[in-house]
């Protein structure tokens, strides 16, 4: 209901993401809100412009379909140590089949675009499951390529080539748009973005948060933590949005560190087409999306901006002929400003 009201009233915040025309840029990123129909409905009722469901993992799909996780048979004794590190099938919120059913139900329950999410790292048979998610009615797919390359022999060019071919393969399977959620830890991220553009990616989701485990010095074991994001994480995203804006075809969406209305405005100024919220919604509840939108509208009115297109990318490298030089100059200036 609230959703329809601001759709009519706030046309100036309209944006396009993955080819969908959205009344405003704030969408719900992948999170536990996606687990249940009622919480997904709450996101729509609160006014989220689209929703990304939680991920279905490569490991879940291969374990259910072929009885293996990363080529290790889950029933064999010699695989037990590796397999035991992964959650048991019952620990995931839903099985692959249930996920498909869930997508189908969610699509019938809400009218905003619904983005399914696959989370994996290899271009193997599991990817075909994307077709099933598409057939269940997902409007788009987000592919979360979460992987830490610890190999001492894989070159960065080879790793990037694998990522691009995975995206190419997925695009060949699907008709719906594909957004790729990536980590920022690449030597030449702009070149990777170009490769993904050439591979057909429709959106780039910047960036995955790495859940870096801490060390518990009492037990001398790793202590994995899911801590919610703060605005300081946004800076890295702002930098890369600013570099990519206007230089690649895929839509740019930010995830990570957009917590306050000011954060949302900064992301759009840097070049974001859409803004994903997770920590903000988990902390303050789905209605937080209204604070984000009201803040953006107030700011646009203050600056007399009529459309979001007038705002997007205003603080990006699109206006610099040499982004590398601008970054280097900014770095030196920042160091020199200490103590002034
Ligand atoms: C509890 C929790 C669960 C999440 N589950 C997923 C998931 O299933 N798939 C995914 O791609 N990202 C997942 N994420 C990451 C978020 O989508 C998002 O990228 C990250 O939290 C950064 O955004 P934020 O600063 O708005 O929180 C999860 C994050 C949290 C906190």
Assigned domain for 78 exists: no
Assigned domain for 21 exists: yes
Smallest CA separation from ligand 1 atom 22, residue: 256
Q: What is the secondary structure of 90-128 as a DSSP string?
A: GGSSS-HHHHHHHHHHHHHH--S-EEEEEE----SGGGG
Q: Given 3-state DSSP classes, what are the helix, strand and coil percentages for the chain, each rounded to the nearest 5?
A: 50, 15, 35
Name the residue of 31, 39, 256 to mutate for ligand 1: max ligand atoms within 8 A of Cβ: 31
Assigned domain for 69 exists: no
Find the 30 Cα to ligand 1 centroid distance in Å.
Answer: 5
CATH number, residue 205:
3.20.20.70
Find the 275 Cα to ligand 1 centroid distance in Å.
Answer: 13
Collapsing DSSP states into helix, strand and coil, what is residue 273? coil
Atom of ligand 1 nearest to the CA of 280: 26
Name the residue of 26, 28, 29, 103 to mutate for ligand 1: max ligand atoms within 8 A of Cβ: 29
The rounded distance, in Å, linking the Cα atoms of 292 and 192 is: 31
Q: Are strands 114-119 and 20-22 parallel, antiparallel or unpaired?
A: unpaired
Assigned domain for 148 exists: yes
pLDDT at 6 over 70: no
pLDDT tens digits, 72-128: 887 887 777 877 888 888 888 899 999 999 999 999 999 999 999 999 988 787 889
Assigned domain for 70 exists: no
* pLDDT on residue 90: 87
Atom of ligand 1 nearest to the CA of 32: 3
Identify the DSSP state of 43. Answer: H
The rounded distance, in Å, linking the Cα atoms of 196 and 204 is: 9
Find the 279 Cα to ligand 1 centroid distance in Å.
Answer: 8
| The Cα angle at residue 170 between residues 244 and 65, in degrees rounded to 5 | 135
Domain carrying residue 45: 11-54+93-336
Structure tokens at 74: 């889950």
**Which residues lie closer than 8 Å to 19 by C-beta, 6 or more apart?**
177, 202
Assigned domain for 249 exists: yes
Find the 328 Cα to ligand 1 centroid distance in Å.
Answer: 32
261-270 vs 288-302: helix crossing angle, rounded to 10: 60
- Numbers of helices and strands, H then E, in the chain: 14, 14
C-alpha pair distances (Å), 230 with each of 18, 55, 161, 207: 26, 22, 32, 14
156-173 vs 189-198: helix crossing angle, rounded to 10: 30
* Site residues for ligand 1, CB cut-off 6 Å: 29-32, 54-55, 117, 119, 144, 181, 209, 226, 228-229, 255-258, 277-280
Count of domains for the chain: 1
Assigned domain for 4 exists: no
Smallest CA separation from ligand 1 atom 5, residue: 31
Buried b (16+ CB within 10 A) or exposed e, 140-173: bbbbbbbbeeeeeeeeeeeebebbbebbbbbbee
Percent of the chain predicted with pLDDT > 70 = 97
Name the residue of 209, 260, 264 to mutate for ligand 1: max ligand atoms within 8 A of Cβ: 209
pLDDT tens digits, 38-63: 999 999 999 999 999 999 998 898 88
Per-residue pLDDT, averaged over 246-254, amounts to 97
Looking at every residue in the chain, the average pLDDT score rounds to 91
Sign of the torsion angle spanned by Cα atoms 35, 31, 140, 117: negative
2-9 vs 37-46: helix crossing angle, rounded to 10: 30
Assigned domain for 80 exists: no
* pLDDT on residue 65: 81
338 φ, ψ to 5°? Answer: -60, 130
Taking a C-beta distance cutoff of 8 angstroms, is the pair 93, 54 a contact? yes
The rounded distance, in Å, linking the Cα atoms of 186 and 107 is: 35
Taking a C-beta distance cutoff of 8 angstroms, is the pair 265, 296 a contact? yes
Find the 62 Cα to ligand 1 centroid distance in Å.
Answer: 22
Find the 312 Cα to ligand 1 centroid distance in Å.
Answer: 24
Q: Residue 153: enclosing H or E segment and its boundaries? A: none
Output the pTM of the full model: 0.92
Find the 276 Cα to ligand 1 centroid distance in Å.
Answer: 10
Identify the DSSP state of 149. Answer: -
Looking up tokens 């995931």 gives 92
**Confidence band for 240, pLDDT divided at 50, 70 and 90:** very high
* pLDDT on residue 85: 83
**Which residues lie closer than 8 Å to 192 by C-beta, 6 or more apart?**
160, 163, 164, 182, 186
Find the 81 Cα to ligand 1 centroid distance in Å.
Answer: 27
């Amino acid at each position: 209901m609230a959703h329809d009201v601001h759709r009519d009233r706030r046309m100036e915040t309209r944006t396009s993401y993955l080819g969908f025309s959205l009344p405003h840029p704030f969408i719900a990123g992948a999170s536990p809100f996606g687990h249940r129909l009622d919480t997904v409905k709450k996101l729509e009722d609160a006014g989220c412009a689209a929703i990304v469901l939680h991920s279905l993992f490569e490991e879940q799909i291969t374990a259910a379909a072929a009885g293996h996780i990363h080529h290790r048979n889950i029933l064999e004794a010699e695989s037990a140590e590796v397999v035991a590190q992964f959650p048991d099938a019952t620990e995931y919120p839903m099985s692959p089949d249930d996920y498909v059913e869930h997508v189908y139900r969610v699509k019938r329950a809400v009218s905003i675009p619904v983005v399914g999410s696959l989370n994996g790292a290899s271009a193997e048979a599991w990817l075909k499951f994307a077709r099933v998610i598409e057939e269940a009615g997902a409007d788009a797919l987000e592919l979360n390529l979460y992987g830490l390359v610890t190999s001492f022999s894989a070159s960065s060019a080879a790793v990037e080539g694998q990522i691009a071919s995975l995206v190419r393969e997925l695009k060949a399977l699907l008709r719906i748009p594909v957004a790729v959620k990536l980590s920022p830890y690449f030597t030449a991220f702009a070149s990777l973005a170009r490769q993904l553009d050439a591979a057909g990616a429709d959106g780039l989701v910047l960036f995955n948060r790495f859940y870096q485990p801490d060390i518990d010095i009492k037990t001398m074991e790793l202590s994995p933590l899911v801590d919610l994001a703060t605005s300081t994480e946004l800076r890295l995203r702002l930098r890369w949005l600013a570099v990519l804006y206007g230089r690649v075809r895929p839509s740019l969406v930010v995830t990570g560190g957009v917590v306050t209305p000011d954060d949302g405005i900064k992301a759009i100024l840097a070049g974001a087409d859409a803004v994903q919220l997770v920590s903000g919604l988990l902390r303050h509840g789905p209605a937080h999306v209204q604070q984000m939108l009201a803040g953006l509208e107030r700011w646009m009115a203050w600056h007399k901006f009529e459309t979001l297109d007038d705002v997007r990318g205003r603080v990006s490298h699109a206006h610099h002929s040499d982004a590398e030089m601008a970054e280097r100059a900014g770095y030196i200036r920042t160091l020199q400003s200490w103590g002034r």
